[in-house]
Chains A and B, each alone.
Chain A
Amino acid sequence: EVLLQQSGAELVRPGSSVKISCKASGYTFTDYYMHWVKQRPEQGLVWIGRINPANGNTVYAEKFKSKATLTADKSSNTAYMQLSSLTSEDTATYFCTRIGDWGQGVMVTVSS
């Protein structure tokens, strides 16, 4: 069974950074891209980007190129996304996904 287990909710200050994780199990981690998706409260889904865990190559949507940094650790089958210079616009739930399988989401709240 494929499982994508994400880290817990985060409450962070404006201007700071946060790093969230997504631990994969039930499949060969390096065989599939890992994608990240943003969902603001009561809004739709937005694709942030993807990483190839086999070689670390990344592709980002234009609006997230200076906001998100995707990495992957093959030794622990874990993908990470760091979000920087956080503002209230970054308050959202962030999902990792293989497209067919999804993590449970991480709620990131940016507030002083």
Chain B
Amino acid sequence: DIQMTQSPASLSASLEEIVTITCKASQGIDDYLSWYQQKPGKSPQLLIYDATSLADGVPSRFSGSRSGTQYSLKISRPQVDDSGIYYCLQSYSTPYTFGAGTKLELK
């Protein structure tokens, strides 16, 4: 199984910062990587797919990138509404695997 190592587990950021969350795959996944935001009691919402493509309706302050087998989600000048838990998902091979999640708090 492909392991997705996500970091950090939590972070607190100000509205002026650039927030970066990373997921490192245990092997190559050919950019079959998506990012999700989940708020309490809600379903995950797709932010980024195919590592770098912005999902419909997602603000442009969200972006995705890759360096080797490490994938990153960047939030530029986050808003208070961006608080929540963020997950990565590899869909390169079954079983699909999620990262453990990053809890983002905006201060």
Closest to A104 in B: B43
Q: Is the CB of B94 within 8 A of A44?
A: no
**How close is B40's CB to chain A, nearest CB, in angstroms?**
10
State A32–B76 Cα separation when bound (angstroms): 33
Closest to B56 in A: A100
State A103–B95 Cα separation when bound (angstroms): 20
Q: What mask results when residues 52 to 63 of chain B are scored 1 for a CB within 8 Å of chain A, else 0? A: 000100000000
Among B49, B87, B97, B99, contact of A100 (Cβ-Cβ < 8 Å): B49
Q: What mask results when residues 26 to 55 of chain B are scored 1 for a CB within 8 Å of chain A, else 0? A: 000000001000100001111001000001
Number of residues from A at the complex interface, CB < 8 A: 20
Q: Does B64 contact A (CB under 8 A)?
A: no
Please report whether the interface of chain A is mostly helix, strand, loop or mixed according to DSSP: strand
Residues facing B in A48-99 (CB within 8 A) are: 49-50, 59-62, 95, 97, 99
**How close is A21's CB to chain B, nearest CB, in angstroms?**
16
**Which residues of the other chain, A, contact B101 by a CB distance below 8 angstroms?**
44-45
- Extra contacts, 17 of them, besides A95-B44, A99-B89, A102-B43 (Cβ < 8 A), are A44-B98, A44-B100, A45-B87, A45-B98, A46-B98, A50-B94, A60-B95, A61-B94, A62-B95, A95-B43, A97-B43, A99-B34, A99-B46, A100-B34, A101-B46, A102-B45, A105-B43
* Contacts from A to B (Cβ < 8 Å): 35, 44-47, 49-50, 59-62, 95, 97, 99-105
* Contacts from B to A (Cβ < 8 Å): 34, 38, 43-46, 49, 55, 87, 89, 91, 94-101
